[in-house]
Amino acid sequence: MRYDLNLLPVFMALMEERSVTRAAVRLGITQPALSNALNRLRDTLRDPLFIRERYGIKPTQFAEEIAPVILETLARLDEVIIGRQHFDPATSTRQFNIAPNSFVEIVLMPGIIAKLREQAPGVKVSLTPFGNDLSDTGVISGTTDMALGRIIDPPDNVIVQHLLDDGLACVVRADHPDIDQAMSREQYERLRHVNVLPPGRLRVGVFQALERQGLRRELAISVTHFLAVPEIIAVTDYCATLPRLICKQIAKDPRLKVVSSPVDLGTFPVEIAWHVRYRNDPAHQWFRQMLVETAAELIAKPDESPI
C-alpha cells in the first residue's frame, strides 16, 4: 500500500496542538487545506483519528497508539535526509528556535549572539520560555531545536549533552552594615533573603543545596527572574544566593558586592537537550558546537571577582 508521507507531519501537528486552527498555523497552511489532509488521513488509516471537543480535538485510541510510530518514522527520515545536506554558516539564513532557562539567557546568550554576528550573520535565533519541564519547551516533539538548562528525566527520544557546571555565591549591597568580605553561617541565617523562582528545575537545586547543609533562610521576597535581584538588593539589607556566573555579572554593579556562601553549596549542571531527529543535522551540529565552545570560553575566562 502507498502512503502519502506529506500527511504524517499533519498528523503530528494535530496530535501536539490538539487544535485544527493552531495546527494549520504551525504548518503554514489554511484550515480547509488541513481539513482536507485530515480526511485523506482518515481514509488511509480507516479511523476517525480525532474527535471534536468543546475546546479543540481529542485523539482516538488508535491515534494514540500510532503516534509514537509516526514520530519515530519522521525522525529517521530527518536523520537520513538532513544528514546529507550541506550547511554553510556564512551564507545560511536558518532560524534556530531554542528554549533557554533564565540563567542561560543571561550568561550564555550574549556570547552566542556575538559569535553569530561574526560567523553566521544571516542565522536567526528565536527564544521560547524554558517552562516547567521539557514538555513545555517543544523539545520532546522536536518543534523547538533545543532546550538549555537543567534537564531532568529526559525521554528516550531526547539527547542530553553536558555543557558546564556552576556553583552558588551570595550578593548583598556594597555598604551592607553587617557583611564585610565574608559571611558566617550565623550571619546568613540572620539575614532576610531574596529568592529566585525561575521556571524549570534550578529552583529545586538551590533548595536542595541549602537543605543538605542544614542552612536556613528567612525569605523576604520571591522573584521570577535573576534580573530583578540587583535592584532589590541595592536598596535593602537582604541577601540573594545565586549562580556564580550570574554573580560575576552582578559584581560589575558598584552598588553591590559578592561574597562566598558560608558553606559549600556544591554545583549544578547546565545541559543541552534536543530531539533525536536533529542528531545528524549539520546546522544543528554546528550550533551545538558553538554552544560548547562559548561555555568553555566562559569557564576559562579569568575570575576577577572575590568568589
pTM, two decimals, is 0.71
The Cα-based distances of 286 to 92, 133, 273, 280, 289 in angstroms read 12, 25, 15, 10, 5
Give the model's pLDDT for residue 79: 64
Q: Are residues 156 and 279 in the same domain?
A: yes
Please report whether residue 87 resides in a domain.
no
Q: Are residues 99 and 148 in the same domain?
A: yes
**Residue 104 parent element (H or E):** helix 102-107
Q: Are residues 229 and 259 in the same domain?
A: yes
Contact 210, 188 (CB under 8 A): no
Q: Give how many domains the chain has, as a whole number.
A: 3
pLDDT per residue rounded down to tens, the chain (307 residues): 567 777 888 898 898 888 888 888 878 788 898 899 999 999 989 999 999 988 889 999 999 999 888 887 887 776 666 655 678 999 999 999 999 998 999 999 999 999 999 999 999 999 988 876 666 677 877 778 999 998 888 888 889 999 999 999 999 999 999 998 889 999 999 999 999 986 555 556 777 888 888 999 999 999 988 999 999 999 999 999 999 999 999 999 999 999 999 999 999 999 999 988 888 888 999 999 999 999 999 888 765 555 5
Q: Are residues 185 and 62 in the same domain?
A: no
Q: Which residue shows C-alpha cell 557583611?
A: 179
Give the model's pLDDT for residue 53: 87
Distance CA 3, CA 19 (A): 24
CATH number at residue 201: 3.40.190.10
Q: Are residues 179 and 258 in the same domain?
A: yes
Q: Are residues 260 and 173 in the same domain?
A: yes
Q: Are residues 249 and 291 in the same domain?
A: no
Q: Are residues 216 and 205 in the same domain?
A: yes
Which backbone phi and psi does 167 adopt, to 5 degrees? -110, -160
The Cα-based distances of 114 to 63, 117, 119, 124, 206 in angstroms read 44, 5, 9, 12, 30
Which residue segment(s) compose the domain that 197 sits in? 168-266
**Which residues lie closer than 8 Å to 191 by C-beta, 6 or more apart?**
172, 178, 179, 218, 237, 238, 239
Q: Are residues 175 and 259 in the same domain?
A: yes
Beta strands in the chain (DSSP E): 50-53, 56-59, 95-100, 124-127, 146-149, 158-166, 168-173, 192-196, 218-223, 239-243, 256-259, 268-275
Q: Are residues 22 and 158 in the same domain?
A: no
